[in-house]
Structure 1
């Protein structure tokens, strides 16, 4: 058991999952006012690009919606359209799943496309059930460089004393300890040797 994870570059993760910034696999919904032939939904390809009619390929991954709108307006306005009015929307694809299990009202697997807090993840499982321990010990399981690591967090410290509310990233597994003690968590880890969210959820049902 470890008390804390090795340092993670949270800023890099946050940039990659910000809802307003395009990444590979996201959809860009482009509306060119009064030009139906150019208005469509485009997928960011594996190289991070989208090939648009007339103007060709633009590197889109890493741009936000405003930046892409500006580039499209400039490119189309240079040769093809006079004062184009272009609107850009993004539909982000999930980066992974989070599992919440143990002493919660509704064990759940849900997809995330951004970083959330531990408290938000537990809220997705409709909060703690009546079997949770007085101290509300929670274990966060994360794969780091191919190795499974575990961090123990006390929810009481977060809720009553303002301790850090840990950030949860895609593919984390959260286990809330119940009154049976640590044996239940050890059994949970034993039955689920790999951090595969589909297998984890199946094993708990």
Structure 2
């Protein structure tokens, strides 16, 4: 018979060998995982931002949305010039006599350039004024000129409603438009109140320092018998109350 002690030693030897093989396998798997992670980290193709990271460029700050410069240029070119706007006019090629500069649009909607003279710009877009000035300069002064206009100061155009309207107060002109009529403005204040006399609407206007009063019959305007009145920035519209 095989002695009991020999059997016990054989069992312990096999158990120790199995444990050693198990530990070696775990170590090999761990080493393989570490090497794989290291290889991925060194691979430039795997250089992706983490979910919480913000990808930045030279022209976009972290956390900000990229700016579409083409959209900004288009918005600028379509801007409608208004009294009080300040613009910077640059003329190429440079000439000692034909110069641009910083110019303010006058209250009646004109700008003035040396030699070129007085030009009406009210209600025109920046692109339209650039085209007009380019044609004028090309006609008499420079060969193939280029005129660039930058709006350096915009003005908020608004009218004031008083009296029998639902929402009295200041009403800004719609952006990008040079024309704002009485009926359009009335829609912005919610229309007339229940006690309004729509036949008696008074518009007070500052015309070159002098007060001018216009009177409107909105009932006649709505029916088509009277033309709608085009408002100007600074107008004060007063709607009278009905006596009955």
Greater percentage in helix: 2
Normalising by structure 1, we get a TM-score of: 0.47
After TM superposition, the score normalised by the length of structure 2 is: 0.40
Higher relative contact order (CA 8 A, sep 6+): 1
